[in-house]
């Protein structure tokens, strides 16, 4: 994949996350800034999603750990555990905030 395809995939991913959070009515603040998408919760904890363009990865920082995802067969897959990004993100949001968000 070239850089423009990667950036388009990231844009689609970030937009999907923001749209699903908005549609859910959950109390989650989304802030985009220079390749970062920060999700902040009422309890002041945050999840930070970061594009890593040189590696063509997406990184997710949770309160417990960091995760790196590669794009494979149309999905973002954790390069260590094999977990799918949006599924893991849904669980991480619930664990950190108690908010239930399903990414369709």
Residues 37-59: pLDDT tens digits? 999 999 999 999 999 999 999 99
Task: Report the mean per-residue pLDDT for the chain.
Answer: 95
Which structural domains are found in the chain, ordered by start? 3-97 (3.30.920.10)
pLDDT of 104 reads 80
pLDDT computed for residue 62 by the predictor? 95
Measuring CA to CA, how many Å separate 34 from each of 19, 38, 51, 74, 96?
Answer: 19, 11, 9, 24, 24
Segment 9-37 mean pLDDT: 95
pTM above the 0.85 mark? Answer: yes
67 token code pair: 């995760």
């Amino acid at each position: 994949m070239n850089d423009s395809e990667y950036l388009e995939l990231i844009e689609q991913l970030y937009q999907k996350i923001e749209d699903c959070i908005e549609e859910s009515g959950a109390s989650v603040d989304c802030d985009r800034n220079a390749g970062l998408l920060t999700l902040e919760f009422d309890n002041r904890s945050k999840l930070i999603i970061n594009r890593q363009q040189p590696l063509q990865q997406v990184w997710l920082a949770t309160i417990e750990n960091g995760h790196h995802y590669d794009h494979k067969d149309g999905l973002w897959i954790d390069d260590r555990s094999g977990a799918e990004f949006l599924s893991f993100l849904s669980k991480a949001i619930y664990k950190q905030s108690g908010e239930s968000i399903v990414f369709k």
